[in-house]
Every structure is written in C-alpha cells, then in structure tokens.
Amino acid sequence: AFVISVYSAGNFPSSEPELIPKTPLEAAVALKNKGNKYFKAGQYAKAIQLYSEGLEHCPTDATSERAALYQNRAAAKENQRQYDSAIQDCTAALELSPRYLKALNRRAHLYEKLEAWEDCLPDVVACCIFEEFKNASNIICMDQTLKKVGQKQAQKEWEKIPHTLPSAAFIRNYLSAFAWNPFDKTPSEQKPNSVSVNGASDAVNLDNQSAETNEISQKEFDSSQSQPQPPAIAEPFRSAHETLDQALDLLARGKYEASMAMASKAVSMFDSSLSNVATVDSTKPAADGDEATLNSTQVIPHSSTTNGHETNESDSVDKILPTRVQTTKDQLSRAKAAHNKAILLHATYLALTGQAVEAKQLFQTVFADGSGADTVVRVNALIKSACLSMSVDQDFAACLYEFQTAQNACPECPDVYLHRGQINLLADQLDEALHDLNTAVKLKPEFSIAQAQRLYTLYRKALNDSNSKRALNRVEEFRRLAQKYPNCLETHSLFAQVLTERGDFSASDEEFAKVIELAPNSGLAYAHRGLLQLRWKQDRGAAFKWLTLGAKADPKCELVQELLGQLAVEQGDFDTALEHFNLAIHEAKTQNDLAHLIALREGVQAQYNACKKYDISITDVVTSLRREQQQMMMGLC
C-alpha cells in the first residue's frame, strides 16, 4: 500500500499528491518513474543516478523491473555517449530477460555506433526476426552490418581461397571477346579479321559508316604487323620458345590448366635466358678466325621468379649456365617479343583466377616502353589492365586513362573501343558507349559481339529518350541480328535480356534455350534461365531445375551456387544454403564478390543461431523472411 503525500522532486516541484513506497520494489518503481521524468527533460546524469538507486532497492527476483532499470539507464548513458557502459547495461538487462526487444535493439545500435559489426549482427538479426522483418530501420541496419562484416571477413579470407581458374566455358567466352588474338604463335600472321570464338564473319551497315575508313585501318594494321622472316631461334631461347608454343597449343585446345602451368614455366625460362645473353651485330662480318664483335656486355644473371617466388635448383625450368652467350639483335628482339607474349598469357590466367594485383603488374610490364612486346600484345595487356581497374579497383578514372593510352598506342584496334564501350555502358554513359561501339564495328564489321553491344546501347538510349517506337525498332533489329549470327552467345544473351525487360518472357526463354544449346557447359546460361522462371511464372520448381542443371554442368559457376543458396534459404533449409554459399565463396574472383557472398553466408548463419538461441521455429522465420527474399531474387532477374 502507498501513503499519499505532497513533495518536491529535485527540479520537478509538484503540487500533485505522490505515493510514498513502503516496499523495496515499490521504491525501485518510484525511482524508475522519477528517472524517466529527468530523462524526458534531457537531464541524463540525474536520470542515471535515479536508475542506479532504483537498482539498489529493486529485489533480485524482480527480474522484469531490474531489466527495465538497466535498459533505461543504458538509454541515458547512450545520450551521454557512454557507449561501452550502456552496452554493459543492455547485456545485464538481456541476462535477466533474453527476449527483451528494447534492450536487444538498443545494444545492436550501440554496437553499430561503435562499428563493432560482428557484435551488432546477431543482435540486429534477432531484432528483425522478433519484428517479423517489418521494421525498416532494423532491416537497413542488418543489411549495412552484413555488408561491413562481409568486407571485413573478405580481407581475411581472400588469401585462403584457392584462386583456381573458372570453367572452360567461361574462359572460352572471355577470350572470344577480343577481336585481335594476341596468342597466335606467329605475330606476323595475325590478321585483324580473324574470327573469334564468339564473333562472326559478316558485315553490318552502320549509319555514316565509311568502307574506305575500314579498309584504310585494315591496311594500316597489316602494314604494322608485316615483318621479315624471323631469324632462327638462338640456342639459349630454344627451350623457352618451345615451352611457350606448348602453352599456346594447350590454350587453343582448351586445356587451360595445363596451358597456365606451361605459360608460367615459359616466363621463368625466358627470364633465365635473357639474363645471360650478350648481343652481337649480325650485320658486321667477322674476320676469318675471329669471334663476332660484342655490342653489349653480359647481363648479370638473376634468379627467375614465378608469381613473386624465386625458383631454385629443384625447379623443372631449364637452367642456363651463367656464361656469356652470344645472340644477334634480331634473335634477342624475337626472344623479348615471345617473352612478353608468355607474360601476357601468364597474367591473363592470373586475372582469371582472381589474382588481380599480380596480373595488373604484369600487364603494365608488358605495355611499358621498351618492353619489346609486339603491338597487339602491348595493347591487349593494357586493355585487360584497364578492365581490372574498373572491375576490381572500382577506379573509373584510371580505367579510362588506360583505355586512352591504349587507343593512342594503337588507334586501329577494335578491342579498345569494344571494351571501353562496355565499361561506359555499365557506367550509364550511353553517348560515350555508343561512340566507342560504333568505332569498334567500323574497324571490324563482322565482329558480332561489338554489333550486339552497340545495338543494346541503342535500345537503352531509346528507352532513356522515352521513344517507344525506336525501342521497338531496336528489338526487331536484335531479332534480325540473332538470326544473322545464330552461333553468337553475346547476341542471344543480350537479346534475351531485352526481351525479359520488355516482359516477353516466352521469347526470352527461347533465346536462353539457344544460349544453353550453344554453351551447354556454361553455368551462367542456366542461371539466367532459372531466374527467368521466377520473374515469369514465380515457378521455384522450374528455377531449381535449371539451377541444378547449371551446377551439374558448371560447378565452378558462383552465380549458380549463390542462387541455389538463396532458394534453399527461402525453403528454410539453412544447412543446404550454407553449403552452396561456401561453394560460391570458393570460386569468388574479386574481393567485392567475396564480400557479398560472405555477407549472404553470415546472414544465414546469424538467423540459424538466433533460432537456436531463442528457440524459434525456422519455418516461422522463413515465412516472415520470404517476401524480402523473393524481392531480392527478383532483383537479380
């Protein structure tokens, strides 16, 4: 029972009657209420004092009141920026009442303020589960926390993943995106109209296109590549040349793992050979009985390296004795050109395995002035370096600078314009993209990849201009282009994307079927067809079928594994989801991709842990989560 009294409370004089507590619990409640008044008035220090007094009076078995006092004191401390102490009070409250949402929510956001993301994650995920994923603020916090956790853990796990090559189908498609093939054995035989794997052989008419311009650029390229019969291979370089030839043969046959090993070996052999040669003037006759006159002194031998690691005597690379070996300037020039081609091939494989830093350094080495590389090899190296600047470093300015440098070095190379056009398209720079892609097609009219990219850019421009008639015309042009180049993956893939965007799902499905027929071992084709089933019919069974087929055809495809993981989450099968996410992580090729996949894994793991900790049914969680999960997957379509 309470006794009615009138008294003043600090800075809150009152003429209203108040109750004088007679029990410790009543005293604690009264102190809490008084503390709440000071809290609302912004007098947090006084509120903290009253909450502390309340805890002194509150019986230990009054768990609810004690938890409330701790939580309220944490709120006051938070406003005083005493974050660590506030977290301790939230923890004390949760020890008394584990499902106390207000304390759990406060601790999550305190961890967020301290950027203690890994501590924040389990709390904010639990909050979202208790709130049935209806609190937008906490959903945003959870997404941000997962992103931060993914980025942090990706830095640690990046060195631990194996960095293996992607599937052969992926590599073939990647290599086919270059009109000029730098990996022909004989550079002098390289022609600008050589057909790529994903290319075509017929021309396309462009507005204001000049056939004369194309003919001139073709002649210029032929002229730049015309060389006299190469000199005989000097003995010190013979083994290195043969090893490079093996790497190129394996590349042409699609034996990429073996080719990668031979390319690395060829680089080491050229390194070793070039460090032990001195040139002679092959144009100056030597006197009878005299040795040829040396034009330079011997270079001091250095240890060869592969991926930054020194080789030793146990390596399989042929050892060149550190004695002066004479070669002509022409022989040395040919060796340097082959050396750079080997470096380019080795760096290309490194880039494909996700070792971008090492690859980019080698690409820059090949392009450097005085490297001795052929023009096609130099420009190809800089194009690949520019693409890494964008895809890995997210440095658009550096990417464009490298493309401009490549263009200055070889303005007639269509690959410069194709790949820069794609970068501009991704950056939504449609005018710049169209200019580049027009130039690419002008330089190589039969290159169907460039034609498809150009047409897709024109379609995007029509949409941006709200010109529905022109957009429809572009769709019809795409239809004709797909018929003209029935074997071009890029054309069918982009046409399917256009049809999907327009809601013509049946026709899009037919195009994806053609892509799968052309590339039955490419997981991406199955992934996109599976996503289409979700967008078209919300048919998870059909989506699962295509994704499962994709995983069987191309187990290295990280997108397939990611989507299978997300479908498993939607079904409440967290264990299977974690398996798929871990498989995708194993195949990640950039730290950004790795961070994204780790975020997915950690999100599922946090939900799984919350269900166990709070004895929550996974089925109930999935029911609440399904709408958000479906929206995320639809966004990938």
**Within 10 Å of residue 219's Cβ, how many Cβ atoms?**
12
* 310, containing H or E segment: strand 309-310
For strands 309-310 and 305-306, give the pairing. Answer: antiparallel
Mean per-residue pLDDT of the chain: 86
Cα distance between residue 601 and residue 580, in whole Å: 9
Give residue 624's pLDDT.
77
Lowest-pLDDT range of 59-73, 314-328, 397-411, 559-573: 314-328
Lowest-pLDDT range of 201-210, 365-374, 522-531, 575-584: 201-210
Confidence at 328, pLDDT banded by 50, 70, 90: confident
Report phi then psi at 309, rounded to 5.
-110, 135
The phi-psi region of residue 308 (left if phi > 0; otherwise alpha if psi is between -120 and 50; otherwise beta) is left
* DSSP assignment of 467-494: -HHHHHHHHHHHHHHHHH-TT-HHHHHH
Report phi then psi at 48, rounded to 5.
-60, -40
What letter represents residue 78's amino acid?
E
* 154, containing H or E segment: helix 136-157
Cα distance between residue 113 and residue 119, in whole Å: 11
Cα distance between residue 119 and residue 136, in whole Å: 20
- Angle at alpha carbon of residue 202, lines to 200 and 205, rounded to 5°: 120
* DSSP assignment of 180-196: S-TT-S-GGG--TTPPP
Confidence at 620, pLDDT banded by 50, 70, 90: confident
**What's 20-114's CATH class?**
mainly alpha
Give residue 231's pLDDT.
56
**Within 10 Å of residue 95's Cβ, how many Cβ atoms?**
14
Question: Do 547 and 576 touch, CB atoms closer than 8 A?
Answer: no
Q: Quick one: tokens of 591?
A: 């730290």
* 328, containing H or E segment: strand 325-328
Residue written as token pair 């938890």:
67
What letter represents residue 452's amino acid?
A
Whether the pLDDT of residue 309 is over 50: the answer is no
Whether the pLDDT of residue 126 is over 50: the answer is yes
Whether the pLDDT of residue 479 is over 70: the answer is yes
Going by C-beta distance under 8 Å and a sequence separation of 6 or more, which residues neighbour residue 134?
A: none
pLDDT tens profile 336-349? 999 999 999 999 99
Cα distance between residue 241 and residue 40, in whole Å: 81
Q: Quick one: tokens of 200?
A: 């075509």
**Within 10 Å of residue 307's Cβ, how many Cβ atoms?**
12
Give residue 286's pLDDT.
43
Whether the pLDDT of residue 418 is over 50: the answer is yes
Domain boundaries, the chain: 20-114, 231-353, 357-445
Determine the angle formed by the axes of helices 448-464 and 489-501, rounding to 10 degrees: 20
- Of all residues in the chain, what percent carry a pLDDT higher than 70? 79
pLDDT tens profile 578-597? 999 999 999 999 999 999 99
- Closest by CA position to 90, among listed 116, 65, 71, 68: 71
Going by C-beta distance under 8 Å and a sequence separation of 6 or more, which residues neighbour residue 361?
A: none
Whether the pLDDT of residue 312 is over 90: the answer is no
Going by C-beta distance under 8 Å and a sequence separation of 6 or more, which residues neighbour residue 154?
A: 591, 592, 594, 595, 598
Confidence at 323, pLDDT banded by 50, 70, 90: very low
Instruction: Specify the higher pLDDT residue, 328 or 65.
Output: 65
**What's 357-445's CATH class?**
mainly alpha
Q: Is the fold of 20-114 the same as that of 357-445?
A: yes
Whether the pLDDT of residue 16 is over 60: the answer is no
pLDDT tens profile 81-119? 999 999 999 999 999 999 999 999 999 999 999 999 999
Give residue 139's pLDDT.
96
Whether the pLDDT of residue 283 is over 70: the answer is no
Whether the pLDDT of residue 9 is over 90: the answer is no
User: What is the mean predicted confidence (pLDDT) over 562-575?
Assistant: 96
Distance from chain centroid for Cα 6: 69
- Closest by CA position to 629, among listed 122, 143, 148: 143
Question: Do 255 and 244 touch, CB atoms closer than 8 A?
Answer: no
Global pTM reads 0.82
Confidence at 276, pLDDT banded by 50, 70, 90: confident
